Chains A and B, each alone.
Chain A
Protein backbone atom coordinates (compact mmCIF):
# COMPACT_ATOMS: atom_id res chain seq x y z
CA UNK A 1 0.00 0.00 0.00
CA UNK A 2 1.34 3.39 -0.92
CA UNK A 3 -0.22 6.54 0.37
CA UNK A 4 0.84 9.81 -1.21
CA UNK A 5 0.41 12.93 0.86
CA UNK A 6 0.94 16.30 -0.73
CA UNK A 7 0.31 19.67 0.87
CA UNK A 8 -1.53 18.03 3.73
CA UNK A 9 -3.91 16.08 1.44
CA UNK A 10 -4.08 12.41 0.65
CA UNK A 11 -3.60 12.63 -3.10
CA UNK A 12 -3.16 9.00 -3.99
CA UNK A 13 -3.65 5.62 -2.39
CA UNK A 14 -2.41 2.65 -4.34
CA UNK A 15 -2.09 -1.00 -3.59
CA UNK A 16 1.43 -2.23 -4.26
CA UNK A 17 0.71 -5.90 -3.74
CA UNK A 18 -2.13 -8.04 -2.55
CA UNK A 19 -1.69 -10.73 0.07
CA UNK A 20 -0.90 -14.07 -1.58
CA UNK A 21 -4.04 -15.85 -0.41
CA UNK A 22 -6.61 -15.39 -3.18
CA UNK A 23 -9.48 -17.11 -1.36
CA UNK A 24 -11.44 -14.06 -0.32
CA UNK A 25 -12.07 -10.91 -2.27
CA UNK A 26 -13.09 -9.05 0.86
CA UNK A 27 -9.96 -10.08 2.71
CA UNK A 28 -7.85 -9.08 -0.29
CA UNK A 29 -9.47 -5.73 -0.29
CA UNK A 30 -9.12 -5.38 3.44
CA UNK A 31 -6.55 -2.67 3.49
CA UNK A 32 -3.67 -2.10 5.87
CA UNK A 33 -3.41 1.24 7.64
CA UNK A 34 -0.49 3.30 6.43
CA UNK A 35 1.31 5.68 8.73
CA UNK A 36 0.76 9.27 7.71
CA UNK A 37 4.15 10.96 7.66
CA UNK A 38 2.78 14.43 7.33
CA UNK A 39 0.38 15.95 9.83
CA UNK A 40 -3.10 15.76 8.36
CA UNK A 41 -5.63 18.15 9.79
CA UNK A 42 -9.39 17.82 9.74
CA UNK A 43 -10.29 19.79 6.63
CA UNK A 44 -7.22 19.03 4.56
CA UNK A 45 -7.46 15.29 4.08
CA UNK A 46 -9.82 13.42 1.76
CA UNK A 47 -10.75 11.13 4.59
CA UNK A 48 -14.42 10.22 4.97
CA UNK A 49 -14.52 8.13 8.11
CA UNK A 50 -12.52 8.45 11.31
CA UNK A 51 -11.66 5.65 13.69
CA UNK A 52 -10.64 6.63 17.20
CA UNK A 53 -11.19 5.87 20.86
CA UNK A 54 -14.89 5.77 21.66
CA UNK A 55 -16.40 9.20 21.50
CA UNK A 56 -19.45 10.33 23.47
CA UNK A 57 -22.05 12.44 21.71
CA UNK A 58 -21.21 15.35 24.01
CA UNK A 59 -17.55 15.19 23.03
CA UNK A 60 -18.27 14.80 19.32
CA UNK A 61 -18.43 18.50 18.48
CA UNK A 62 -15.16 19.65 16.96
CA UNK A 63 -13.86 16.12 16.36
CA UNK A 64 -12.37 15.09 13.01
CA UNK A 65 -15.52 13.16 12.06
CA UNK A 66 -17.73 16.08 13.05
CA UNK A 67 -15.70 18.40 10.80
CA UNK A 68 -16.04 15.98 7.86
CA UNK A 69 -19.77 15.63 8.46
CA UNK A 70 -20.23 19.40 8.65
CA UNK A 71 -18.33 19.86 5.39
CA UNK A 72 -20.68 17.35 3.77
CA UNK A 73 -23.76 19.16 5.03
CA UNK A 74 -24.86 16.42 7.39
CA UNK A 75 -28.43 16.23 8.67
Chain B
Protein backbone atom coordinates (compact mmCIF):
# COMPACT_ATOMS: atom_id res chain seq x y z
CA UNK B 1 0.00 0.00 0.00
CA UNK B 2 2.48 2.57 -1.16
CA UNK B 3 -0.39 5.07 -1.48
CA UNK B 4 -0.11 5.75 2.23
CA UNK B 5 3.33 7.21 1.68
CA UNK B 6 2.14 9.73 -0.89
CA UNK B 7 1.63 13.25 0.45
CA UNK B 8 -2.05 13.84 1.22
CA UNK B 9 -2.15 17.43 0.13
CA UNK B 10 -0.20 18.82 -2.80
CA UNK B 11 1.42 22.23 -3.24
CA UNK B 12 1.07 23.96 -6.61
CA UNK B 13 4.14 23.97 -8.87
CA UNK B 14 3.69 27.70 -9.55
CA UNK B 15 4.54 29.09 -6.13
CA UNK B 16 6.91 31.55 -7.81
CA UNK B 17 3.88 33.55 -8.96
CA UNK B 18 3.26 34.66 -5.38
CA UNK B 19 5.94 37.31 -5.86
CA UNK B 20 3.57 39.23 -8.15
CA UNK B 21 0.45 39.56 -6.03
CA UNK B 22 -0.88 39.65 -2.49
CA UNK B 23 -3.87 37.57 -3.68
CA UNK B 24 -4.20 34.08 -2.18
CA UNK B 25 -2.81 32.15 -5.14
CA UNK B 26 -1.04 28.79 -5.35
CA UNK B 27 -2.76 27.58 -2.19
CA UNK B 28 -2.36 23.92 -3.07
CA UNK B 29 -5.06 21.37 -2.52
CA UNK B 30 -6.27 18.42 -0.50
CA UNK B 31 -8.18 16.44 -3.08
CA UNK B 32 -9.59 19.45 -4.89
CA UNK B 33 -10.33 21.36 -1.70
CA UNK B 34 -8.35 23.87 0.35
CA UNK B 35 -5.57 22.30 2.40
CA UNK B 36 -5.83 22.76 6.17
CA UNK B 37 -3.18 25.46 6.38
CA UNK B 38 -4.79 27.68 3.75
CA UNK B 39 -8.19 27.09 5.31
CA UNK B 40 -7.05 28.16 8.79
CA UNK B 41 -5.08 31.09 7.37
CA UNK B 42 -8.32 32.45 6.02
CA UNK B 43 -10.17 31.82 9.28
CA UNK B 44 -7.46 33.68 11.17
CA UNK B 45 -7.75 36.73 8.93
CA UNK B 46 -11.52 36.66 9.19
CA UNK B 47 -11.39 36.34 12.98
CA UNK B 48 -9.20 39.46 13.22
CA UNK B 49 -11.52 41.38 10.93
CA UNK B 50 -14.66 40.28 12.83
CA UNK B 51 -13.14 41.19 16.17
CA UNK B 52 -12.16 44.59 14.79
CA UNK B 53 -15.82 45.21 13.95
CA UNK B 54 -17.41 43.73 17.05
CA UNK B 55 -15.12 44.22 20.03
CA UNK B 56 -16.04 47.64 21.45
CA UNK B 57 -13.37 50.30 21.53
CA UNK B 58 -12.07 51.03 25.03
CA UNK B 59 -13.01 54.70 24.92
CA UNK B 60 -12.15 55.43 28.53
CA UNK B 61 -8.67 53.96 28.08
CA UNK B 62 -8.15 56.08 24.97
CA UNK B 63 -9.44 59.14 26.78
CA UNK B 64 -7.09 58.60 29.73
CA UNK B 65 -4.08 58.17 27.45
CA UNK B 66 -4.94 61.32 25.50
CA UNK B 67 -5.56 63.31 28.69
CA UNK B 68 -2.26 62.10 30.14
CA UNK B 69 -0.56 63.63 27.12
CA UNK B 70 -2.28 66.92 27.66
CA UNK B 71 -5.03 66.58 25.06
CA UNK B 72 -8.47 67.54 26.31
CA UNK B 73 -11.29 65.24 25.24
CA UNK B 74 -15.06 65.10 25.15
CA UNK B 75 -16.88 61.75 25.09
CA UNK B 76 -19.97 61.60 22.91
CA UNK B 77 -22.19 58.94 21.43
CA UNK B 78 -24.65 58.67 18.58
CA UNK B 79 -28.26 57.51 18.42
CA UNK B 80 -27.11 54.04 17.39
CA UNK B 81 -27.44 52.61 20.85
CA UNK B 82 -25.85 49.25 20.24
CA UNK B 83 -23.60 47.58 17.71
CA UNK B 84 -26.36 45.71 15.90
CA UNK B 85 -28.34 48.92 15.42
CA UNK B 86 -25.18 50.74 14.41
CA UNK B 87 -24.52 48.24 11.63
CA UNK B 88 -28.10 48.26 10.33
CA UNK B 89 -28.92 51.93 10.66
CA UNK B 90 -26.15 54.12 9.28
CA UNK B 91 -28.53 57.09 9.59
CA UNK B 92 -28.51 56.80 13.40
CA UNK B 93 -24.71 56.75 13.45
CA UNK B 94 -24.80 60.23 11.92
CA UNK B 95 -26.93 61.75 14.72
CA UNK B 96 -25.79 62.67 18.21
CA UNK B 97 -27.69 61.12 21.11
CA UNK B 98 -29.71 63.46 23.34
CA UNK B 99 -27.12 63.23 26.11
CA UNK B 100 -24.28 63.92 23.68
CA UNK B 101 -26.13 66.92 22.30
CA UNK B 102 -26.60 68.40 25.78
CA UNK B 103 -22.98 67.61 26.62
CA UNK B 104 -21.98 69.70 23.60
CA UNK B 105 -24.38 72.47 24.67
CA UNK B 106 -22.52 72.71 27.98
CA UNK B 107 -19.26 73.01 26.07
CA UNK B 108 -19.76 76.07 23.89
CA UNK B 109 -17.31 78.73 22.85
CA UNK B 110 -18.14 82.42 22.47
CA UNK B 111 -16.41 82.75 19.10
CA UNK B 112 -16.13 80.45 16.09
CA UNK B 113 -13.26 77.95 16.18
CA UNK B 114 -10.97 76.98 13.37
CA UNK B 115 -11.07 73.19 13.38
CA UNK B 116 -12.58 70.21 15.15
CA UNK B 117 -10.88 66.85 15.49
CA UNK B 118 -13.25 63.92 15.89
CA UNK B 119 -12.34 60.29 16.58
CA UNK B 120 -15.01 57.68 15.84
CA UNK B 121 -14.80 53.92 16.22
CA UNK B 122 -16.48 53.32 12.85
CA UNK B 123 -16.20 49.76 11.62
CA UNK B 124 -12.86 48.91 13.22
CA UNK B 125 -12.17 49.50 16.89
CA UNK B 126 -8.76 47.94 16.32
CA UNK B 127 -7.86 50.69 13.85
CA UNK B 128 -8.53 53.43 16.40
CA UNK B 129 -6.92 51.43 19.21
CA UNK B 130 -3.74 51.02 17.14
CA UNK B 131 -3.44 54.31 15.33
CA UNK B 132 -5.51 57.21 16.69
CA UNK B 133 -3.32 58.22 19.62
CA UNK B 134 -0.08 58.13 17.68
CA UNK B 135 -1.57 60.08 14.82
CA UNK B 136 -3.10 62.72 17.11
CA UNK B 137 0.29 63.21 18.71
CA UNK B 138 1.57 64.26 15.29
CA UNK B 139 -1.50 66.14 14.13
CA UNK B 140 -2.46 68.28 17.13
CA UNK B 141 0.93 70.05 17.45
CA UNK B 142 0.78 70.87 13.72
CA UNK B 143 -2.67 72.43 14.11
CA UNK B 144 -1.51 74.36 17.18
CA UNK B 145 1.50 75.60 15.22
CA UNK B 146 -0.98 77.20 12.83
CA UNK B 147 -2.55 78.99 15.81
CA UNK B 148 -5.79 77.20 15.15
CA UNK B 149 -8.29 77.33 17.97
CA UNK B 150 -9.65 73.83 18.66
CA UNK B 151 -12.25 72.42 21.06
CA UNK B 152 -11.45 69.21 22.96
CA UNK B 153 -10.89 66.17 20.76
CA UNK B 154 -14.36 64.62 20.41
CA UNK B 155 -14.47 60.84 20.88
CA UNK B 156 -17.64 59.40 19.37
CA UNK B 157 -18.96 55.92 20.06
CA UNK B 158 -20.85 54.24 17.20
CA UNK B 159 -20.09 57.10 14.87
CA UNK B 160 -20.23 57.36 11.08
CA UNK B 161 -18.18 59.87 9.11
CA UNK B 162 -20.96 62.48 8.95
CA UNK B 163 -21.13 62.75 12.74
CA UNK B 164 -18.28 65.23 12.42
CA UNK B 165 -20.57 67.66 10.60
CA UNK B 166 -22.80 68.24 13.61
CA UNK B 167 -19.80 68.78 15.85
CA UNK B 168 -18.11 71.19 13.45
CA UNK B 169 -21.36 73.07 13.11
CA UNK B 170 -21.77 73.33 16.86
CA UNK B 171 -18.37 75.01 17.22
CA UNK B 172 -18.83 76.96 13.97
CA UNK B 173 -15.51 75.47 12.93
CA UNK B 174 -14.25 75.85 9.34
CA UNK B 175 -12.38 72.58 9.24
CA UNK B 176 -13.65 69.17 10.25
CA UNK B 177 -11.22 66.27 10.64
CA UNK B 178 -12.64 62.84 11.39
CA UNK B 179 -10.45 59.84 12.25
CA UNK B 180 -12.46 56.66 11.83
CA UNK B 181 -12.01 52.88 11.73
CA UNK B 182 -12.47 51.63 8.14
CA UNK B 183 -14.36 48.54 7.09
CA UNK B 184 -11.81 45.82 7.76
CA UNK B 185 -10.46 43.75 4.90
CA UNK B 186 -8.95 40.32 5.44
CA UNK B 187 -5.46 41.73 4.98
CA UNK B 188 -6.04 44.98 6.88
CA UNK B 189 -8.28 44.59 9.94
CA UNK B 190 -6.92 47.79 11.52
CA UNK B 191 -7.05 50.33 8.73
CA UNK B 192 -7.83 53.91 9.79
CA UNK B 193 -9.28 56.57 7.51
CA UNK B 194 -9.33 60.34 7.77
CA UNK B 195 -12.16 62.40 6.34
CA UNK B 196 -11.68 66.09 5.85
CA UNK B 197 -14.55 68.53 5.24
CA UNK B 198 -14.43 72.30 4.80
CA UNK B 199 -17.43 74.19 6.23
CA UNK B 200 -19.20 70.96 7.19
CA UNK B 201 -22.97 71.23 7.54
CA UNK B 202 -24.99 68.56 9.27
CA UNK B 203 -27.44 66.89 6.89
CA UNK B 204 -26.10 68.92 3.97
CA UNK B 205 -22.49 67.89 3.47
CA UNK B 206 -22.18 64.75 1.34
CA UNK B 207 -19.35 62.44 0.32
CA UNK B 208 -18.73 64.75 -2.61
CA UNK B 209 -17.81 67.52 -0.14
CA UNK B 210 -15.19 65.46 1.64
CA UNK B 211 -11.64 64.35 1.02
CA UNK B 212 -10.63 60.95 2.25
CA UNK B 213 -7.22 59.66 3.23
CA UNK B 214 -7.62 55.94 3.44
CA UNK B 215 -5.64 52.85 4.29
CA UNK B 216 -3.60 54.08 7.27
CA UNK B 217 -2.06 51.00 8.90
CA UNK B 218 1.28 49.27 9.32
CA UNK B 219 1.34 47.89 5.77
CA UNK B 220 -0.43 50.86 4.22
CA UNK B 221 -0.02 54.60 4.49
CA UNK B 222 2.31 55.71 7.32
CA UNK B 223 1.31 58.37 9.86
CA UNK B 224 3.79 60.80 8.30
CA UNK B 225 2.42 60.23 4.81
CA UNK B 226 -1.14 60.64 6.04
CA UNK B 227 -0.24 63.81 7.93
CA UNK B 228 1.46 65.28 4.88
CA UNK B 229 -1.64 64.62 2.78
CA UNK B 230 -3.96 66.04 5.42
CA UNK B 231 -1.94 69.22 5.89
CA UNK B 232 -1.81 69.68 2.13
CA UNK B 233 -5.61 69.40 2.01
CA UNK B 234 -6.01 71.82 4.93
CA UNK B 235 -3.79 74.43 3.29
CA UNK B 236 -5.43 74.09 -0.12
CA UNK B 237 -8.92 74.17 1.38
CA UNK B 238 -8.08 77.40 3.21
CA UNK B 239 -6.96 78.91 -0.11
CA UNK B 240 -9.80 77.61 -2.26
CA UNK B 241 -12.42 77.71 0.51
CA UNK B 242 -13.73 74.29 -0.39
CA UNK B 243 -13.11 70.58 0.01
CA UNK B 244 -14.27 67.45 -1.79
CA UNK B 245 -14.16 66.53 -5.46
CA UNK B 246 -12.87 69.95 -6.52
CA UNK B 247 -9.92 69.69 -4.15
CA UNK B 248 -7.34 67.28 -5.49
CA UNK B 249 -4.65 65.65 -3.41
CA UNK B 250 -1.52 66.48 -5.34
CA UNK B 251 1.00 65.00 -2.94
CA UNK B 252 3.09 62.31 -4.51
CA UNK B 253 2.25 58.68 -3.86
CA UNK B 254 5.68 57.36 -4.69
CA UNK B 255 6.69 56.88 -1.07
CA UNK B 256 3.55 54.81 -0.57
CA UNK B 257 5.65 52.26 -2.40
CA UNK B 258 3.65 51.01 -5.36
CA UNK B 259 6.16 48.73 -7.02
CA UNK B 260 7.02 49.43 -10.63
CA UNK B 261 4.72 47.78 -13.12
CA UNK B 262 6.14 44.40 -13.90
CA UNK B 263 6.03 42.73 -17.27
CA UNK B 264 3.26 40.26 -17.85
CA UNK B 265 4.98 36.86 -17.95
CA UNK B 266 2.01 35.32 -19.78
CA UNK B 267 2.68 37.46 -22.82
CA UNK B 268 6.49 37.60 -22.95
Say whether A and B bind each other: no
User: Residues of A with Cβ closer than 8 Å to B?
Assistant: none
User: Residues of B with Cβ closer than 8 Å to A?
Assistant: none
